[in-house]
Structure formats: C-alpha cells, structure tokens
Amino acid sequence: MFTFLHAADLHLDTPVTGVAGRNLPPATGETLRDASILAWDALVDTAIAHGVDFVVLAGGLYAGPDFGLRAQLCLSDGLARLGAAGIASYVVLGHDDAAPTGWGAIDGWPDSTHVFGGSPPSGQPVESVTFEAGGETVTIHGVSNPARPLPDDILSRFPAKPTKGFSIGLLHVGQGPNRLPVTELTTRSIGYWALGGARTPTVHHRDPWVVEPGTVQGRNRGDGDRGGPGVQLVTVDSGRVTEIQSLAVDLVRFVRATVDITSLQSITELVDRFQAAVDPGHHDGRSVVAELVVNGSGTLHDELVDPTAAAKILKVLNAGAATTPFVWVDHIDWRTRPALDLDEVRQGTDFLSDLLATAEGAPGTEDWQDHLPTLPNDVARYLDTDLDLTSGEITARALDLALNEFAGGQA
Amino acid sequence: MRITGWSIDGFGQFHKAEVTDLPPGLIVVHGPNESGKTTLMDFVTGMLFGFPDRRSPKRRHEPVNGGSMGGRLFVLDQAGIPVTIERGASRKSLMVRDEHGERSATAVADLLGHVTPELFDNVFGVDLDALQGLRSLDEDAVRERIFSAGVVGAGRSAELALATLAARRDELFKPRGRGDSYQLRTLRTELVKAAEELRSAQQVAAGISAQRRDLDELREQVGVHRDHGRALHRRLELIHAVDDVWPAWSAALDARAQLEADSEVVLPILSDDYADRLADARRQVEAQAAATRDAESEVARATDQLEAIEVDDAALAEAPQVAALDQQRGTELARRKRLIELDGHLGHYRSELDAQLGRLGPNCDDDWLATRPQTIESEAEMRRISGEVQRARTALDRAIQTSRERDRALNLTTERLNKAKAERAAAGDPEAARRRVQEVAALYDLVAKLEQAERDEQTQRIALDAANRSAGSGLPSWLVPAVGGLAVVAILAGIGGVVGGAAAIGAGSLVVGVGLAVVAIMLARHRPAALPTDGSGGPVVLPATADVVRLAEEVASRAEALGVGPRPSTVDLMNLRQDAAEAHAAAAGALQTHQEALQTETDHEDYSADIRTVDRQSVADADAELVRTTEVWNEWLAEHDLPAGLDPDGVGEFLAQLNLARQTQHSLTTYTADRASEMAESQAFAAAVTEVAERLGEADSDVIRLLDRLVSRTAAAREAERARDRQSEVVTNLTQLHRSRAADTASAATALDAVVAEAGASDVSEAEAVIHRHNERLRLQSVIAEAEKALELRSGNRRDESLELLAGGDPLGWQAEGLEVEQQIVAADAAHHQAAAELTRAEDALAATIASADVAQLQFQVETLRTQLQRAARDWAVLTNAHRIIEATRERYKRERQPMVVKRAAALFAEITEGRYDRLVVDGSTVYVVDTASRQVDAASLSRGTVEQLYLCLRFALAEQLATTSPLPLLLDDILVNSDPGRGPRMARAIGHVAERQQVFMFTCHPWVVEMLTNEVPAHVIDLPSSRKSA
C-alpha cells in the first residue's frame, strides 16, 4: 500500500482580485499577498505530516517573471524540503506555467524532483518513470506543455495496454477553449489521472479515477475560485485506489453572503447575521475575505440609508481584521429599499409616480439617458467595460437611490 | 372619495363609537386634550391604509375600553356610491363592500386614487408641527420648505435630493471639474503609478537571465585577476627567499674556503664535552678556594658576636614571681573600677535617703526610720481613721451643693412666671383675634361670589350680542309658522290627491310638502332664542347685573370694617387672611404659656419653705461629723509618733514614702560592706609588688606602673639569655664548615690536572688553545649546514629555481626586482578585490531580486486599486443615473403640474392677505410673492406668520391638484392655533374654499377656533367628550 498527494494550480504569487482593501491592516495585506506561497508551504507540511510516498503536481505552478521570481525559489525550497523528508516529487508544467526561459531564478530542480519533459515527436509515447512505493510498482506517465497548448493527439501517447503495477497519468488539461476533454481519458490504461486546471475539486470518473484537485489557494476570481479543499490524498492498495481524501491547505477563504433585512428588527441582528456568515468557524478556521450584500425592505432600511450607520457596521465587522485568523469585510453592497409598493406608486399621480415612470421610460416621459455624462477616457481605460454591472442593474440601483431620497419620511 | 362616517369597535379609548351622515365640506372635530382627536385621525388613516403592526414605530392604539381593534369607515366613491371599508388589526381582515356586495382587494387603492401612505401623510395631512417647524428654520431652509410644499409634496424636495446626490457624485468625479482631487482621478493616478512601478519590477524580474550572464563574466574576471596575482606572489616569495638565504649562503661559501686551508694540521681527538669538562674542573678549583676563605671569615665574625651578648641574671631570678603578679593585674584593675562604682552608689543613696526623710517630716532621721514598725495592721488602722475624715468632708460638700442647686431652681421658676405675664400682656385678647379671622373669611367668600356674578353677566352679554346679530339676519318671526303651515297643507293635499286617484298630483304635493317641512325645521334650528327685555321693549336688563351690584355693596361694607379698600384685590385678601391668622395664633399661645407658669409657681411656693429647713440641718450635721473624725485622727498621729500636720488625704503618699526610705537605707548598708572588702584585697596586692621591686632596685608610686617595669625587665633578661645560646651554636657549626671546604679545594686541584693531561697539554692555557682550534672547525661546518637548511626552509620545492638565482649572487638586483613585483602585486590585488566586490554585489542583487516580494506587492496593490476604481466608477454611474432620473422628473413636474399648483396657491394667498400679494412666481427653486405694485419678494424673507400661511396655501393647492385624480379628504390638526385675529378668519375662509372642492377635517381643542370657523364658513361640528366621559 502506498499514498500520494495530488495537487495542481498553486498559481504561486498570482494576486488576489476583486479586493479593494481600503484600510486593510498591513499584516493582513501581506498575508493576502503571500497566501499562495503560504498555502504551498502548508501543502509541503501536510505531505510530510501524512508521510506520503510521493507528491504529484499537475501544472499551474508558476506563470513566469511577470509575477516575480520568489515563487521559483519557494517552489524549489518546498520540493527540497519534501526530498529531505524522503518524499519524491513528480511534476508537469501546464500551458499557464512559465516557459523554460522563465525559470531563470533557480539553477535546477532538487534531486528528489522529476519534471516531465514536453511532448515527444509524433507517435512516440510520453515520458514515464517507474519506481517502487509501499512494496508496489508505480509508473507515472506525464507530459509538460509550458506556455503552449497540448497537441491534439496527446492522449494517444499515453499507454493503451496495461503495464506492470499502478499507473498514474499526470497532465495539466487547462481551462477555456483549449481544455482537453477529460471524458476520453478513461480509454487509456491509467489507474489514476492526476489532472490540473480546474478551480474546484472535481472527480470526473471513478476507477479509473479522473481527478482534478482544484486550486490550492482561492483568489476570489469568480465563484469557482473562493478557496476550500484543493489537495487530494490518494491511497492505493494492491494496484487499486482505495481512498481519496480532499484536504484543505489554503489560508484565506473568499466569502460572498446575502442578508435580507425584511424580518430583522435591529442593526444588532443584522450585524449578528453578518458575523455568522463570515465567522472563520464556518470556513474551516480559515481567514475570511468577505463581500456582503444587504437587500430587502423593512424597518431597518431608514437606519441603513444613513452612510454613517453603514460605515459603523463595516467598522464593527472589521474589528477582527488584524487577528489570526482574520476577517476582512471588503465591501457591503447596500441594496435595501424603502417599504414601497411600486405597483401602487405607478398608478399614482404624485412625484414618486412620475419618478418611477421616468426611470422606466414610460410613454410621455423624456429619455433621461440622453444627457448622461460619461467618464473621461483616461479613467475609463482602466475599467472593465460593464463596471461589473449591466446598464439595467445600474438603472435599478439608481432608481433605488432616487426612491430612497423621497421615501425616507417627513423632512 | 368622501367620508360619511365611521363605526369604531375598539381603537384606543374609543369603543362602540359611531358617527354617520357626515356632510361634504368642512368637518370640525372638537374636543379637549386627551379626548381622542389624534386617535381618531389615526383611526381614519389606519382604515384607509392599514393599521401599523407591532414592529412599526408608529402608535397602534390598542383598545383600552374593550372591543376588538378596528371598525368600519363609511365613504362615498367617485361615483357617489356608498362603500364600507372594514378592517381589523390583521391586514387580512380588510373587507370593502357596497350595496352590491364585496369589492375586490384593490378597491381601497382605487378609492384612494393609488395614493401611497407616505404621500397621504405628506400632502393630505397637515399638522401644527409642520408649521411651527418653519419658525426654527433659517431662510434657506424656509425657502426649500416653501418650494417643496408646492412642488414635490413627498416630504422632501427634488432640489434637496439633487443637491445631495450631486455632492456625493462630485466627490467621485465631476465631468467638467478641474484638478485631480476627485476620488476617481486620484485612484486612477495611484493605479497608473502602481502599474508603472509594477512594470519596472517585472522588467527587473524578466532580466534575470542577463543578470546571470553578467554574473558569470564577473566570476571569470575575478579568476583572471586572482591567477595573475598568485603568479606575482610566487615570484616575490622566491626573491624574498633567496634574499633571505643569501647572507647564510655567502658565509657558507667563506667557511668552505677556510676549512680547506686548515685541513693540514692534526688535532688530538677530544670528546665533544672536553671543553666543558676543562672549564668545569677549573671553575671547581676556584669555587672551592673561595668557599674556604668565606667560611674562615664567618667563623671569626660569629665569635665576635657571641662575645658581645650580656645577660641580667638578677632579673632572671625574679622572673617567676613577676609573672605570678602580672597574672593578677586584671583582677586588681577590676577591683579598682568596682571601688569607684561603689563610691558612686553610696553617694547617690545617701542623698536619696536624706531627701526621703525630709519629705516624711522634720524630725525624721536614720534612727527614727530604723525604729518604725513594719506591720500591716498599723497601716490599715491609719487608712481607716483617715478614711472616716475624708467621708465626713465629702458629706459636708454634698449637703452644701444640694442646698445651692435648690435655691437656683426656685429662682428660675419665678423668672418664667414674670416672662409669661409680660408675653400675655403684649399678645392681646385671643377672642378678638378669632373674630377677626372669621370676618376675613366671610369677605373672601363674598368677593368670590361677586367675581362669579361678573363672569355670568359677561356671558349673558355675549349671548345677547350673538342673538342680536342673528336677529339682524332678516328672518321674520312669522316665517317658520307660515312655512310649516304651507307644508302641512301641501302634505294633506298630496294625501288627498293620492287617495282621490290623482296619483301624480298627489305625489307632487307630497314632495313639495316634505320639502317645505324640511325648510321649516332648518329655519326653526337657526331661529334665535327669546331675548331678555325690561318688559316694555326698552333696553335689555341682564339677570346677573342685580347680583353684581348687591354683592359689590356688601363687599365694600365689610372691607371698610377690616380697614381695606371697597374692592380688595386677591393679594389684599390673602394678606388680610394671613395677618388675622397669625395674630390669633400668637394670642392663644401666650395665654397658654401664662397659665402653665402660674401652675408651676403655685407648686413651688408650698414646697420651697420645707426644703430650705431640711438643707440647713443637713449642712450642720455634716460639719459636726467632720470635727469629730478630725480629732480622732490627730490623736492617733500623736500616739504613733507621726508628724502632727499629716493630712488624712495624704496618708497613701506618706506610707509610700516611708517604704521607699526603708529600701534606700537597706541599699546604703549593703554597698558600705562591699567597699570595705574590696579595699582590703587591693592593699595586699600592692604590698606583694613592692616587695619584689625592692629586690631588683625598682620603685614607683603607682603599683600597676611598677608592675609594668618589672615585667619588662624580666622579659629582656630572658631574651638575652636565648640570643647567647643561639650564637654559641652558630660558631660551632661554622668551624666545622671551614674544615670541610679546605678538603674539597685540594680534591678539585687534582681533578683539573687530569683533564689538562687529556689534551696533551701541560697547563690549562695550552689545553684551551687546542680546544679553540677544534671549535673553529666545527663552527665553519655549522655555517655551511645552516645555509643549506635555510635554503631548504625558504625555497621548499623551488630549490632549483633558488640555486639558479643564488648562483647569480646579485642581492641588489633581487631587491630591485622585488620592489617592482610588489608594485605589480598591489595593482593586481586591487583589481582582484574590485572584481570580487563587484561580483558580491551582483550576487547579492541577484539573490535580492529572486527573493523580492516587490512584484507580488505591486500586483496586489494594482489589483486593489483597480477594484477600488471599479467600485468608485460604479458608484459614480449609479449616482449620475439617479441624479439624472430625478432631474428629468423634476423638469416634467415643473412643466406639467407646478403651474396649476402655483396658480391655485396664489389665489388662496391673495385671499388671506386681502389682495396684498396677488401672484406667486417660481424661479428655479425659489418662490417669490408679487404684490399689487408688481414688487417681487422672496417668500423666505416674509414674516414667519405669513410664511406659514403661504406654506398652507401651497399644501392646499397641491392637495387640490392631486385631488383631481385622488380626491381625498384633508386632515388638518389645529393649524389655526397661531393665527392672529386679523388673518385667522381669512384663513378660515380659505379653508372653506378648499372644502368646497374636497372634504376637510379640522381637528382642534380650542372652542374659539370652532367658533371662528363656524362663523366664517358652513361647517359640521363633532364634539368629542373628554376621555373620562368617553371611558
């Protein structure tokens, strides 16, 4: 019996995105900056703690000097630490890894590390390494494709006939249009496909196993990259996978939570809901970076439209921003509304009904969007074109804002 | 929609309260405070829009007098159809029905013209707070409030909303603004800067390969410099080695030549240590001879010293006795100290005893003291007898004190009686004071009755004036009977027509009859009551006037009797009442005090005579007892030989002194015996010392000093004896040593002769010449060996190169070359160090570049700034859109709705100001009033009272404008309470004009407001009972 750790997509020193970090404590900022590096260190510690026989890394490790050089050093140091603990490492590089010229900060890989070569000439099998682990013969077939897509026939280079012992296929299948179709992998004579490229842990097939472990450390890039278990601990006994366990080695989780104020009676209740949502205890004890949304309409709305109240809530929530684990609420999206029945308002004849009609472009109203000012080019150049919102969403938010100005009670 | 009534099941204090058949126009709801006006307003609003739930901050008005919460509101819809709105506490309880049955769930919204609760509160509800709030605002705020009253009507003006949003938007970015202080531009600038820094850091990282190549080149350069330096160092080392070896090498060349020349002479073979042995033998001979001479001199010197020592034999003989006496020295010194102490004690106790005897009495001395008996019985008897005297003295003192205190008490009673008499005389008669109090109370009641009569007279006069105004409206007294008669005739004719078969005519007559009856009833209601007259049609005499005159006369009469004016004021009455009450209380108090003092005096007169007799007898008895006990005491003193004047009070002290004197006398006796014993022993010691001293011929007046001299002399004698013994032993030893040294000298001379013979020499000088020649040959051979050794040591494995240079034999040339090579080495080392330092710097830089977190930090910074910029831009877009929506709405509102509102408000305002301001002009967000002379005035600059009226006109106009689609009743809460007498009625008329178009409910707690409104406009009045009654 032997065990190995399967990981991919370390994305060392790739920055987190979508975090504004205003007034972020410096130490917390450094933790966020170094999260991928620290997670890699934790991965190495985990491998040593579990006493695995070897580690396989399926690409997505380091994208090149545009992301600095220290990642190379950290990666090399971690591999050396594994080697010092008697754990061999088997590595392929993927299309989003740096080309060989981009690895100039280190002189080479530690002796305990084997980095698979690129695609062999057409018709030739991919490189394979055979060794003994736990009294069993293990063969790893792998191919690196740094900074370029995999050739179309790459699957045919993996063995179609059974070989002695347990076979592992090591490959970075990537993301996007060039992603290799994983459904075809089961046609090859591989017991465990150790893949890389997916943001979330995915078991595509069982026996033969086709597994993508997900990212080791989330980067808040979309819903699929918010963090969580990103390492697979695989146990093989007598040539068969007997257990797969997902492990988390990340430091920071990215959380998005929504609270509806309709049934809430006090700010304290709202803060309690928020704190429950971002409590590290609900996120495996990890530090939390959160974006919160508040919606609904209720008695709290009038209190929440006061910017000072909103600022105080944010301050209260960020009281733990400098602790370990930390909680950082980066942004609260205030989407509450006054308690108005818009259908009623539409049928009225007062200013509010006119406001609604104007915003919704009712017949007889002028097109208010005709004279909208725009942002100057020097600012707009640095923005995503849709500002994260559609024009409809902006209009809806603008209408809420306008209604708030008039439905907030007697002046 | 118009409200025609309500039926309240339970709401606040209301329970089973019903009002029906309310007319259109103005409804005045009047009631005192706490009668439920606000509760009723909230009931109407709640019936229309729903009651607030428990979470709402608004008041719920739970029923307090029973019934379930809610009820029914009776209204007429737009088509004039009666509709009932029924609600309970639950929102689901809403039911809307008309004569045809239940209406749909949206029926209420249709009735309300889809007006929201907020709009209803802000337009159709006007309360006093909104008006009074205007008084606390500054001019700008008033301007805004006036403008919003007629433009938006939603509680907040569009202008204020636009300004708020614009301020927030412009903080982010102002499209035509200047400078980079806007948040978006600041963020963009920071982002650009961070991105540039990131690019630089990325370029540094990307240049890692070139950095490595540069590093390799540097390493190669360092190697070249290092090798060149090493070669120069080797050459210099060789030169230095040859230069170092050259002196030895040159000497070796000379040594070889000398050895060659001396090789013909043959020398005897001498052992290697021959020269040493010869020198040793020679030194032995000389040393032994010198030692022998020294020993001889020592013997002579020691003998002289022995002969010089003298010993005191007499002292030696007395030494044991002196030592024994010296051992007693300490005892004698202690004895002497003890004697001094004893003398001190004896002196002290002698003076103490003398003083104590003196205190006991003039005839008390040592002998008297010694003969005093020391028995306890005598002391007890003495204390008993003296105690009797002391008790007699105390009894006498107490008797005298008691007598004096009783005298003082009798005197005090007499003083109190005199004072009470004086107070009673000053206070006057209590009965007269009581009568004056009653008279003042009666006057007080009369004045109250007079004031009530005057109020009644005033009320009757107002009623009379109103009746006169009504009577003057032109209704003749015969009109009601006439119309009533016509109505009866018409009805009878109608009945007759119907019965007689002329149904149409009959029905018409009936209708006319009923109509005439209604008119007759209304005329009857408005007909004034019968007016009081004097019976002849003359001037009216009011019933209350006679009472006023009668009561005023009576008040004047009683006031005069009490010494005040004919119509005393309330203050006069209060002062009178207080003065009378105080006088009555003082007189009654003085009378009581006097009576109490009289009683006390009577009691003491009987008692004082007896008590004085008893006190005198007590004093005499105590005095006799004191005389008797004193005589017994004096006899006892004489009998016991004690001082005659001893006071019984001092017996304790006397006995204490006596015991003290006895103790002192005992101490004195003991110390005298001790001194005699010590003195005898001291004298015996002195005699022994003197005896020894006399034998040695010594003498001194002080024994101790004499003993010191004896001790010193015997010690010196003993020391001289010991020195003589030691010197004698020294002389013996030195004599033996001298003989031994003489023998050693002879042996050494024999040994020297044998060594000289070994060299084939006849004497020491010849033997030394042979040795010298032998040693010279050895030295030359050593020089040659040293040179070889030096060459090997300095040149190591470079012997051949060294020999080659040495063969040249050019030390000057070598030095010159060495200097030159040293200079080359300095230059080569400098070049090497420079290259090595550069290499170290480059390696450090490379390591720092590789380990640097700069790129990661800048990436993180760029991403955070990008996110901030993105959010700020999004906020800006939302704010800009919101601003634009409100702006467009406002323009439409101004264009389509505002002119009608302003025109109607101007008409109402012109009426209130009696045409002083006949137009309103709106310019931007400012409302101007225009007077008849076309002068335009900013409304905000008007007086606050006028501003309130303009505000109401705009609110009424806005309500009317909205009423074109949503004709809802206006709910006005006591808004006329601050109106001045001039504009109040005009304001009432304006409300009447509004009420002609839509129903108006005016809630007030002031009867005069009700009167003013009903005087000016037709109104239906609902009187609410007070809360106590309604409960």
Three-class HEC string of A171-202 = EECCCHHHCCCHHHHHHCCCCEEEEECCCCCE
Domain annotation for chain A: domains and CATH numbers: 2-247 (3.60.21.10), 252-336 (no CATH), 342-411 (no CATH)
In this structure, chain A runs to a length of: 411
Q: Is residue B531's pLDDT more than 50?
A: no
User: Of the spans A47-51, A216-220, B566-570, which averages the highest pLDDT?
Assistant: A47-51
Contact B51, B58 (CB under 8 A): no
Which structural domain range is residue B504 located in? 430-587
User: Of the spans A362-376, B176-190, B334-348, B641-655, which averages the highest pLDDT?
Assistant: B334-348
pLDDT at B376: 66
Q: Which of B372, B406, B127, B321 is nearest to B1004 (CA)?
A: B127
User: Of the spans B375-379, B430-434, B624-628, B647-651, which averages the highest pLDDT?
Assistant: B624-628
Q: Is residue B489 part of a domain?
A: yes
Q: Which of A220, A247, A217 is nearest to A10 (CA)?
A: A217
Distance CA A397, CA B161 (A): 16
Q: Which of A29, A340, A380 sits opposite B860 (nearest CB)?
A: A29
Inter-chain CB proximity A399 and B114 less than 8 Å:
no
CB pairs under 8 A between A and B: 241
ipTM, two decimals = 0.93
Distance CA B860, CA B867 (A): 11
Interface test with A, best of B860, B896, B961 (most A CBs within 10 A): B860
Q: Which of A71, A21, A82 is nearest to A217 (CA)?
A: A71
Q: 3-class DSSP state for residue B690?
A: helix
Angle between helices B854-896 and A391-406 (to 10 degrees): 60
Distance CA B947, CA B978 (A): 12
Strand order across the A88-92 sheet:
A113-115, A88-92, A54-58, A2-7, A231-237, A240-247
The alpha-carbon gap from B954 to the nearest alpha carbon of chain A, in Å, equals 15
Is the CA virtual torsion B518, B522, B525, B530 positive or negative? Answer: negative
Count of domains forming chain B: 1
Band the pLDDT of B539: cuts 50, 70, 90. low
Contact B194, B858 (CB under 8 A): yes
Neighbours of B664 (CB within 10 A): 20
Distance CA B725, CA B305 (A): 12
Residues of B in contact with A410 (CB under 8 A): 121-122, 130, 155
DSSP string of B85-115, one letter each residue: EEEESSGGG-EEEETTEEPPTTHHHHHTTT-
The 3-class secondary structure across B811-874, one letter per residue, is: HHHHHHHHHHHHHHHHHHHHHHHHHHHHHHHHHHHHHHHHHCCHHHHHHHHHHHHHHHHHHHHH
Q: Is residue B507's pLDDT more than 70?
A: no
Burial of B463 (0-12, 13-18, 19+ CB in 10 A): middle
Band the pLDDT of B659: cuts 50, 70, 90. confident
Average pLDDT for B710-729: 87
Contact A113, A83 (CB under 8 A): yes
Inter-chain CB proximity A382 and B869 less than 8 Å:
yes
Q: Is residue B921 part of a domain?
A: no
The 3-class secondary structure across B382-428, one letter per residue, is: HHHHHHHHHHHHHHHHHHHHHHHHHHHHHHHHHHHHHHHHHHHHHHC
Give backbone dihedrals phi and psi of A210, rounded to 5 degrees, phi first. -125, 110
b/e per residue B164-195 (b: at least 16 CB within 10 A): bbbebbbbbbbeeeeeeebbbbbbbebbeebb
What does the block give as tokens for B5?
Answer: 């009534």
Contact A338, A300 (CB under 8 A): no
Distance CA A229, CA A216 (A): 7
Q: Which of A351, A359, A401 sits opposite B154 (nearest CB)?
A: A351
Neighbours of B868 (CB within 10 A): 21
Q: Is residue B250's pLDDT more than 60?
A: yes
Contact B134, B949 (CB under 8 A): no
Query: Which of A127-136, B125-134, B732-741 bottoms out in mean pLDDT, i.e. has the lowest?
Result: B125-134
Average pLDDT for A255-264: 93
Distance CA B255, CA B532 (A): 180
The alpha-carbon gap from B157 to the nearest alpha carbon of chain A, in Å, equals 8
Q: Which of A265, A358, A388 sits opposite B55 (nearest CB)?
A: A265
Residues of B in contact with A401 (CB under 8 A): 165, 878-879, 882
Average pLDDT, chain A: 90
Inter-chain CB proximity A375 and B856 less than 8 Å:
no
Is the CA virtual torsion A276, A282, A283, A287 positive or negative? Answer: positive
A350-364 pLDDT, tens digit each: 778 888 888 888 777
DSSP string of B619-659, one letter each residue: HHHHHHHHHHHHHHHHHHHHHTT--TT--GGGHHHHHHHHH
Distance CA A384, CA A392 (A): 16
Distance CA B101, CA B531 (A): 53
Q: Residue B170 belongs to what H/E stretch?
A: helix B158-172
Q: Is the pLDDT higher at B858 or at B849?
A: B858
Strand order across the B2-11 sheet:
B14-19, B2-11, B70-76, B82-88, B95-98, B101-102
Give backbone dihedrals phi and psi of B301, rounded to 5 degrees, phi first. -65, -40
Query: Which of A103-112, B322-331, B595-604 bottoms out in mean pLDDT, i.e. has the lowest?
Result: B595-604
Strand partners, A56: A6, A90
Q: Is residue B634 part of a domain?
A: no
Q: Is residue B999 part of a domain?
A: no
Q: Residue B599 belongs to what H/E stretch?
A: helix B570-639
The alpha-carbon gap from A156 to the nearest alpha carbon of chain B, in Å, equals 36
Q: Is the pLDDT higher at B427 or at A26?
A: A26
Query: Which of A158-162, A215-219, A279-283, A372-376 bottoms out in mean pLDDT, i.e. has the lowest?
Result: A372-376
Place of tokens 């910074």: B861
Q: 3-class DSSP state for residue B713?
A: helix
Average pLDDT for B220-230: 93
Inter-chain CB proximity A353 and B864 less than 8 Å:
no
Inter-chain CB proximity A15 and B145 less than 8 Å:
no
Whether pTM > 0.80 for this model: the answer is no
Give backbone dihedrals phi and psi of B931, rounded to 5 degrees, phi first. -90, 180
Distance CA A59, CA A97 (A): 7
Inter-chain CB proximity B155 and A70 less than 8 Å:
no
Residues of A in contact with B158 (CB under 8 A): 351
Band the pLDDT of A218: cuts 50, 70, 90. very high
pLDDT at A128: 96
Band the pLDDT of B4: cuts 50, 70, 90. very high
pLDDT at B481: 63
- Taking CA–CA distances from A105, the nearest residue in chain B reads B850
Angle at B366 between CA B361 and CA B368, to 5 degrees: 60
Strand order across the A202-205 sheet:
A127-133, A136-142, A166-172, A192-196, A209-212, A202-205
The 3-class secondary structure across B723-770, one letter per residue, is: HHHHHHHHHHHHHHHHHHHHHHHHHHHHHHHHHHHHCCCCCHHHHHHH
Q: Residue B484 belongs to what H/E stretch?
A: helix B479-499
Rg of chain B over Cα atoms, rounded to whole angstroms, equals 74
User: Of the spans A326-330, B342-346, B347-351, B1010-1014, which averages the highest pLDDT?
Assistant: A326-330
Residue B7, amino acid: S
Give backbone dihedrals phi and psi of B567, rounded to 5 degrees, phi first. -125, 80
Q: Is residue A409's pLDDT more than 70?
A: no
What does the block give as tokens for A38?
Answer: 């620290």
> Which residues neighbour B541 within 8 Å (Cβ) at sequence distance 6 or greater?
B532, B533, B534
Contact B60, B54 (CB under 8 A): yes
Distance CA A266, CA B28 (A): 41
Q: Is residue B784 part of a domain?
A: no
Burial of B757 (0-12, 13-18, 19+ CB in 10 A): exposed
Average pLDDT, chain B: 83
Average pLDDT for B657-663: 85
Contact B594, B421 (CB under 8 A): yes
What does the block give as tokens for B376?
Answer: 């306890």
In the 8-state DSSP scheme, what is residue B433? H
pLDDT at B461: 77
Q: Which of B251, B278, B417, B199 is nearest to B781 (CA)?
A: B251
Distance CA B960, CA B952 (A): 12
Q: Is residue B1025 part of a domain?
A: no
The alpha-carbon gap from B113 to the nearest alpha carbon of chain A, in Å, equals 7
Inter-chain CB proximity A13 and B855 less than 8 Å:
yes
Q: Is residue B583 part of a domain?
A: yes
Q: Which of B143, B2, B165, B164 is nearest to B75 (CA)?
A: B2
pLDDT at A410: 29
Query: Which of A85-99, A166-180, B143-157, B826-840 bottoms out in mean pLDDT, i.e. has the lowest?
Result: B143-157
Q: Is residue B483 part of a domain?
A: yes
